[in-house]
Structure 1
Amino acid sequence: MQEIMTLIQDPAAWVALITLVVMEVVLGIDNLIFISILTNKLPPEHRERARKIGIGLALVMRLALLGTVAWIVQLTEPLFTAFGHGFSWKDLILIAGGLFLVWKATKEIHHTVDPVDHQEDFIATSATTGFASAIGQILLLDLVFSVDSIITAVGMTPHLPIMVIAVIAAVTVMLVAANPLANFIERNPTIVMLALAFLLMIGTTLIAEGMGFHVPKGYVYAAMAFSALVEVLNMFARNARKRKREGAH
């Protein structure tokens, strides 16, 4: 309790908290896009529950990892060396998660471009199996993003209460934004392709990070923001043309 009171009175702790909350929210965008795309493939009655479960698992996982900060820090210690790079558990987790994201995004892009090939498989898949599969995939990516998120938090502040508050705040933002984002993606088919391209880029970035190539996150998110802005302008242009055609009739 004394430590918390000391942190409350420390301006540097408030700055660290605000910075970490913003960082955690930004890092959570990747996870949220994946959850939105994955749950939109479920029957409508299961989507919201799957999102809440997926985001709830992310919170539980991150808080559990915060409880083992000393062990988390050890994940960055090299296990073996290959290609001139010392691979740690963190690197292996990032590579595995990146490969999964690249595979999943590529598969979804193929399904979006040529849905006829997958129509029979979709009909044959039961809602229960689809729900369980979605939760399993969300859990896998939650683990990857949680490890990356917690290691980032540990690198920014040594105070556990600040990390806990930042994680809870970030996951709360994810929970509030999940349904609006998923609904927006579902209503705009071109956004789906853009979001899948984001996942493909994020997966490639995770693989590069795991292989020892540092990719500044600012560049990645700047590219994502620019692409999203271009797509928003395209949406405005399409809506304007649609209103013009309707006015002509």
Structure 2
Amino acid sequence: MDIAALVSDPAAWAALITLIVMEVVLGIDNLIFISILSNKLPEHQRARTRRIGIALALVMRLALLSTLAFIVGLTQPVFSLPWQGPPGAYGEPAFDLAFSWRDLILIAGGLFLVWKATTEIHEKVQPSDGHGIMDTGGKVISNMGAAIFQIILLDLVFSIDSILTAVGMTEHLPIMITAVVVTVLIMLLAADPLANFINNNPTVVMLALGFLLMIGAVLIADGFGVHVPKGYIYAAMAFSAGVEALNMMARRKRPTVEDKILH
């Protein structure tokens, strides 16, 4: 189907809108990681690092789209492990523990995310003496290159997940490319406000790190063939964010109530 036919096809527009929404939701994880990491740099490097990280995410997604056959091939099993699961109705193993390249990438990315989130949480609870990672106001990463390198690693994991989602929702490459570009533009617009909000609210930093820890665990589980519905994950994140929003409102109201009592 050519571009003109896609433009005039309502089903194509519906697929595009649905895919953009899905990509934006999947991009939230990537954006949270970029925001937390960039906030640990000197202030004059933060916005530039975020823009570079998001631009690299776009380049990586477009590069992966240009090799769709290769990406689809990543889902083919490359090896399996002998696994005797619980017996089924006829005594056969419940499932076969086979791994594809996608599974291995998800497991590696999940382990990296769990390690990174755990390290950050530890440093928030027990800040270092200035020789390593410090608290929110500290210069945690020695240079912008180190931050960008870590962003690239997670960009790869999230990009593969994003492209495989796109491939599963539509077969038209122009729709995939348009959805990816629009999604990355939305991420670019939201990056600075989100990063500033996280930086100005220390409790939100801990909540975001908790999100990353949960996402890392889900990636590992997905790599081992345990598929947790994404709706459950984002519903839990939305509920937690709502509770934190109520806590923030309560903290803002508290001084006003105390002033009334004093007067």
TM-score, normalising length: structure 1:
0.95
Pairs within 5 Å for 1:1-249: 3-82=2-81, 83=83, 84-115=96-127, 117-122=128-133, 129-247=142-260, 248=262
- 1:127, distance to aligned residue in structure 2 (A): 8.7
Distance 2:22 2:141 in 1: 35
Is the contact between residue 27 and residue 149 of structure 1 (CA under 8 Å) also seen in structure 2? yes
Separation (CA, whole Å) in 1 of partners of 2:14 and 2:146: 40
User: What SS is found at the alignment partner of 1:120?
Assistant: coil
Q: Which amino acid aligns with 2:181?
A: I
RMSD, matched Cα: 1.6
- In the TM superposition, what is the alpha-carbon distance from 1:244 to its structure 2 partner? 2.4
For 1:1-55, what per-residue CA distance to the aligned partner results, in whole angstroms no more than 9, with x for missing partners? x700011111111110000000000000000000000000000000000000000
**Could you say what secondary structure the match of 2:119 adopts?**
helix
**Cα deviation, residue 56, structure 1:** 0.3
Q: Name the aligned partner's letter for residue 125 of structure 2.
A: V
Cα offsets for 1:199-219 (capped at 9, x unmatched): 000000000000000100000
- Counterpart AA for 2:131: E
Q: Which protein has the bigger helix share? A: 1
After superposition, the Cα gap between the structure-2 partners of 1:132 and 1:86, relative to the gap in structure 1 and judged at 3 Å, is: same
Q: Distance in 2 between matches of 1:245 and 1:133?
A: 46
Equivalent-residue separation in structure 2 for 1:17 and 1:227 (angstroms): 29
Secondary structure class of the residue paired with 1:81: strand
Structure-1 separation of matches of 2:20 and 2:141: 35
Q: Structure 1 pair 118/134, CA: closer, same or farther in 2 (3 Å)?
A: farther
**Other structure's SS at 2:2 match:** helix
Deviation of the 1:119 alpha carbon? 2.4
Larger radius of gyration: 2
1:159-212 CA-to-partner distances (Å, cap 9, x unmatched) read 000000000011011000000000000110000000000000000000000000
> 1:131 Cα shift?
1.1
Q: What amino acid maps onto 1:232 in structure 2?
A: A
Question: What is the one-letter code of the residue matched to 2:132?
Answer: D
| Gap runs ≥5 in structure 2 | 84-95
| Partner Cα distance (1:140, 1:190) in 2 | 26
Q: Give the conservation status (yes or no) of the 8 Å contact 2:113–2:213.
A: yes
Give the whole-Å Cα distance in 2 for the aligned partners of 1:184 and 1:63.
29
Once residues 160 and 243 of structure 1 are traced to their aligned partners in structure 2, the CA distance between those partners, rounded to angstroms, is: 55
Taking the aligned partners of 1:40 and 1:227, their CA distance within structure 2 comes to 22
Instruction: Return the offset for 1:243.
Output: 2.3
Structure 2 letter corresponding to 1:32: L
The count of aligned residue pairs is 246
Percent of pairs with identical residues: 65
Between the aligned partners of 1:185 and 1:215, the Cα distance in structure 2 is 27
Q: Which has the higher contact order (CA 8 A, sep 6+)?
A: 1
Q: State TM-score, norm by structure 2.
A: 0.90
